[in-house]
Structures are given as C-alpha cells and as structure tokens.
Chains A and B, each alone.
Chain A
Amino acid sequence: MMSVLTLLRKMLIVEYYRLNVGFLFLISMFAFGILRPEDHIALAAYIFASPFLLALLMGIFLLYHLKIVFFVRQRLLWDSYEVLYQLVLIQKTTLGCMAIRPICVVASCAALCRICGFLWLEIWAAKGGCRYFYLCAAFAFDGYYGI
C-alpha cells in the first residue's frame, strides 16, 4: 500500500503545498517562530473562553478545508491525473485506514505528552521532530477528503 500513499503524496499533498508554500511558511512562522510559548497558551485560553472566537476559528478552518477540497477536485479533472481513477479498485476501508493512521499517531503522541507529562517530548515535537507527523495528519485528512 506504500505505492498508493507515495502516489497520493506526490500528486496531491506535495503539489498542494508547493503551490501554497507562502501560506505554509506563514503558518509555520506563527506556529514555531513568531509567537512565544506563553503567547500560544494565552491565545488558546482566550479562544476557548469565548464561543464566538471559537466559532470564528472553526470557520477559518472550514474555509481552509474548502480550499483544499476545491484543489483536489480540480486536480481530479486534469487529464494527467486520470491514473487516479484506479483508486476505486482499492477498498474504501483500506484507504480510510491509511488516511487515519497518521492522525492516530499524532493523537497518541499528544495524549502521551499530556498523560505522562513528558515535557521533553513536547519540546522535541516543537523543535521539529514530530512536525512531520503533524503535517502528515493534515496532508492525509485534507488530501483524501476529495477522493
């Protein structure tokens, strides 16, 4: 199944982020550069304290999600992407498992951090070690949604 993931990664995920590299850079700067850790916590606490701000945040995520769905749907109309029609031959449960797997890794990692209080793991994740998994989760969820 690695071949399926490789093809989807190259055709949808890498292409999406290649075309939106500026946006990715901006998000990365907010996540890992501009804001201090205490600013992150304050911002999160502020958002969770207000239903309006939480709804606003979710609205932004929804818009971002629609942008990705639109990208995937547009690409599937391209002649050169026709090879992806073979995806119908792969069982939906298998595809679903592949999409969810990275998200489960991230969730497990976060839960481990919280439950065991592994501060060093959080620091390591923030430094970039786990960034790949975070990205993978976003890639997988976003990339497969439109197929």
Chain B
Amino acid sequence: MIQIHNLQKSYSGHLVLQVPSLYLPQGIHWFKGANGSGKTTFFRTLAGMLPFEGSIQLDEWDIGKDPVQYRLHINYGEAEPDYPEFLTAHDLIQFVATAKRATSTQVSHLIDILGITPFLYQPTGTYSSGMLKKTSLALAFLGNPKVIILDEPLITIDDATVQRVYELVRDTHARGVGFLLSSHQDFRFDALPIQCLFEVKEKTIVQLSSIND
C-alpha cells in the first residue's frame, strides 16, 4: 500500500522525523505517540501537505512523480479542523467532493450518516468542536481513496457518532480502503480490525510486535 524510503522532515533545519524505510500494508493501522512526537507531521507529510526529503509511494503512484494521482488517492482528516468562519459545511463538502471527484450519492450518504444535515448551511463560525470534527470526517471520506488518514478521529464527537465512525471505517475498509489512525484513546478492537500498531518516538516510527505492547 504505502512504501516510504529515507523520509526526512525538518522545520527550519531542525529534524523532527526520520524514517529510513517503512512499508505499510493494506489494512487498518494505529499510530501511537506522545504529544509532540511527530504523528501529525508524519500524517500531513503522507497526505502530501508538507514538503519533505525522500520518497513516498502509494501503490503505483509516487508523490514526486504523480502528485495529483497520489493526492487523489489519499485522504486526510485533521485532528483539530480549522475552516474560515464564513464558510458552511455545504461549501466545504461540495468543494472537496468536486476536487476528489465524489458522487452526489456518496456526499448525501456521508452527510446523513454523520448527522451533518441540521447545520449543513450554517457558517462554521457557529459550530461546536464536535460539529467541526464531523465536517472534517465527512471531507476525509469523499472520493475514491486507497488510503484514509484520520488524526484523532474520535475526539470531541459524541458516543452515537463514535459508533457511526466505527461503522463507516469498517464498511469503507471492507471495500479495500486502508486506514491510518492515531488516537490517545484506545480503539475498540472488537469494532475495528486493527492490523498493526506503530509508535512514533525519538523522531522515527517503530512497529510494535503486537497490539498489547
């Protein structure tokens, strides 16, 4: 699924992440790490939102050689979404749906399952953090991605929405989509078939031998 070689990410010359080689197979993977360990930087780099040194390949698409195809097949949901306060969820969803070439059926399904309808046409400036999170989750599932990266997908949303997110991840994964998740909370392993557990520490990523480590 994702192949990483000699990945180095620095901010103002200060190295924050170094991954010599890493292969992420098809499946649902959980990334753990303390605050500031570099999880979000790693995810944003994978999503093609940050410049870096090295190479990342998603199936046959290399981020450097096929940047559009690569980004078209990898989606990212932020931990703490931030949108201009005058935009509505409808504006954002329609824009990303156009960019990601999502169908109107998929858009309606996501709006419905995540319970966005009541605030769809309200400016995001009036949203609670949970409403913002639901909007960002909807954006992350749009299109036909091969991989969906969800940074802290369960924070700020209510229990009913957590169940729906589990359901959505499970159904999407059943259609062959891989997931990279991060969370400080424990995922319910009976709800999600998590395949590998990784830890981001000491500026690199290590695969833990089992979920219980």
**B interface secondary structure, majority:** helix
A10-B87, A11-B87 known; A83 vs B95 contact (CB < 8 Å):
yes
Interface string of A72-110 (1 = CB under 8 A from B): 000000011111011111100000000000000000000
Determine if A3 is an interface residue (Cβ-Cβ < 8 Å).
yes
Flag the segment in B24-32, B64-72, B164-172 that touches A.
Answer: B64-72
The majority secondary structure among interface residues of chain A is helix
Q: A80-B83, A82-B82 are in contact. Are A88 and B71 (CB under 8 A)?
A: yes
User: B94 contacts which of A6, A15, A85, A87 (Cβ < 8 Å)?
Assistant: A6
Interface range on chain B (Cβ under 8 Å from partner): 20 to 34
Query: Does the CB pair B72–A7 fall under 8 Å?
Result: no
C-beta contact mask, A42-85 vs B, less than 8 Å → 1, else 0? 00000000000000000000000000000000000001111101
Q: Is the CB of A3 within 8 A of B94?
A: yes
Give Cα distance in the complex from A92 to B81, angstroms.
27
Q: Is the CB of A1 within 8 A of B83?
A: no
Q: Which residues of A contact B87 (CB under 8 A)?
A: 7, 10-11
Q: Is B49 an interface residue (CB 8 A)?
A: yes
Cα distance A81–B81 in the bound complex, in angstroms: 11
Q: Is residue A24 within 8 Å, beta carbon to beta carbon, of the partner chain? A: no
The complex places the Cα of A59 from the Cα of B84 at a distance, in Å, of: 33
Q: Taking the complex as formed, is A4 at the interface, i.e. its CB lies under 8 A from any CB of chain B? A: yes
A71 to B72, CA, bound (A): 28
A89 with B71: CB separation less than 8 A: yes
Tell me whether B95 and A86 are in contact (CB under 8 A): yes
Bound CA span A82–B67, Å: 17
**Chain A residues at the B interface, C-beta cutoff of 8 Å:** 1, 3-4, 6-7, 10-11, 14-15, 79-83, 85-90
- Identify the 9 closest CB pairs spanning chains A and B, nearest first: A3-B94, A86-B99, A89-B99, A7-B95, A80-B82, A3-B95, A3-B98, A80-B84, A79-B82
